[in-house]
């Protein structure tokens, strides 16, 4: 029988237990919830049936019959695993077909797919930047982008959210100090916790003026914004001026994985230097094939119909909450500000009791005392469900 040493027991009881106690005291301890899908619009969560207003499956493709069938057929044809990394023997026809579809969809020369969106960020940033370079991130950039920037060894700078005046002063100072180093500006097109958008047109002008590159994370715009759901970059016709477009296939596409779309040379370099690609088993071939089917759906008539339904749901929610600034809610994310962490958790629990799941988002995901309920809309929601949610929300809005 395995016996733990006294030192190990002391470390667990005095270290781990104490840290968990601190999280409890601050109202920040999290736990995994067991979810089961009951029907198209309902889920069972911790034993209760609720309407899910927390999913990033904005178009409802994760439960679509078309993608279910695509997955079944792909498993039958390709099996369930890739067997190795892409550079060993795991690179299959469906991976390359997905990347060709993504490149065409995003208006770039090439694309590269990864197992997750997080793997994209921690692979791409260190592959392109290092010592002597500078990565400048919007303060509200996703944690994966911050992780990737830290791993790169480049100098890391943060500019206040969407503050282009401050960003320009930083770029001037960086260029004056280091004329030869590369500068990469990093932002999201739609920010995951606030639902607002980056001023991409102005950002492009700014980075061009100072000789920088721009990486735009389209995770929450892919499939939703722009022509055929091709994202905010395409919506602003900036495909040829944004060096790096990254995103995920786990939100509007309804599957899993991540991608980066860029020039052919950049993609070739990433194949050789992105560690999260080189040292990871390739995504299951059936997942890649299903993701390609999702991209085709998003860009076709079915995607148009689902986006129309999503935007109708968004308009209905905002009409019931006129105090929210509709101009700031660019996609399907509607933050309902609460403030305190404990208060946000209590509000989420009361919503659960009423039959609605909208999670409490707390530090460190957002700043302290900026806790909120994060409401996400789907093409699958019914108007009556939105009306019921709003009735409950009004009791908690600050």
Residues identified as active-site? 56, 142, 188, 192, 217, 220, 251
Contact 171, 184 (CB under 8 A): no
d(CA 172, CA 132): 16
136 phi, psi to nearest 5 deg: -115, 115
Q: Which strand ranges, in their side-by-side order, compose the sheet holding 35-37? A: 35-37, 42-45, 48-52, 356-357
Return d(Cα 287, Cα 63) in angstroms, integer. Answer: 14
Contact indicator for 170, 156 with CB cutoff of 8 Å: no
CA distance linking residue 221 with residue 10, whole number of Å: 48
Distance CA 16, CA 34 (A): 24
How far is residue 129's CA from residue 51's CA, in Å, rounded to a whole number?
43
């Amino acid at each position: 029988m395995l016996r733990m040493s006294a030192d190990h027991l002391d470390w667990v009881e005095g270290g781990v237990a104490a840290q968990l106690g601190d999280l409890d005291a601050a109202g920040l301890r999290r736990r995994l919830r067991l979810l089961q899908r009951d029907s198209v619009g309902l889920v069972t969560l911790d034993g209760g049936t609720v309407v899910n207003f927390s999913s990033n499956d904005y178009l409802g493709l994760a439960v679509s019959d078309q993608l279910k069938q695509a997955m079944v057929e792909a498993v039958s044809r390709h099996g369930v695993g890739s067997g190795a990394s892409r550079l060993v023997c795991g690179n299959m026809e469906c991976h390359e077909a997905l990347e060709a579809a993504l490149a065409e969809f995003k208006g770039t020369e090439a694309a590269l797919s990864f197992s997750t969106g997080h793997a994209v960020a921690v692979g791409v940033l260190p592959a392109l930047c290092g010592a002597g370079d500078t990565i400048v991130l919007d303060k509200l950039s996703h944690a994966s982008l911050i992780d990737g920037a830290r791993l790169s060894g480049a100098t890391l700078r943060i500019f206040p959210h969407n503050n282009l005046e401050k960003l320009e002063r930083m770029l001037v100072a960086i260029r004056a100090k280091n004329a030869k180093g590369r500068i990469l500006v990093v932002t999201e097109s739609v920010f995951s916790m606030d639902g607002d958008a980056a001023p991409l047109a102005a950002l492009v002008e700014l980075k061009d003026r100072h000789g920088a590159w721009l990486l735009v994370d389209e995770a929450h715009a892919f499939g939703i914004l722009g022509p055929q759901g091709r994202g905010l970059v395409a919506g602003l016709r900036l495909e040829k001026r944004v060096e790096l477009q990254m995103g995920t296939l786990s939100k509007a596409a309804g599957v899993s994985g991540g991608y980066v779309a860029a020039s052919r040379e950049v993609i070739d370099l990433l194949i050789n230097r992105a560690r999260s690609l080189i040292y990871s088993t390739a995504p299951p071939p059936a997942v890649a094939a299903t993701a390609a089917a999702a991209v085709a759906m998003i860009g076709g008539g079915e995607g148009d119909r689902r986006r129309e339904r999503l935007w109708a749901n968004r308009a209905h929610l905002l009409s019931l909450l006129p105090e929210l600034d509709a101009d700031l809610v660019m996609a399907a994310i509607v933050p309902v500000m609460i403030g305190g962490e404990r208060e946000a958790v209590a509000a989420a629990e009361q919503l659960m009791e009423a039959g609605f799941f909208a999670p409490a988002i707390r530090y460190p995901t957002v700043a302290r005392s900026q806790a909120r309920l994060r409401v996400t809309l789907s093409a699958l929601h019914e108007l009556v469900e939105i009306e019921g949610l709003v009735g409950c929300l009004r009791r908690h809005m600050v």
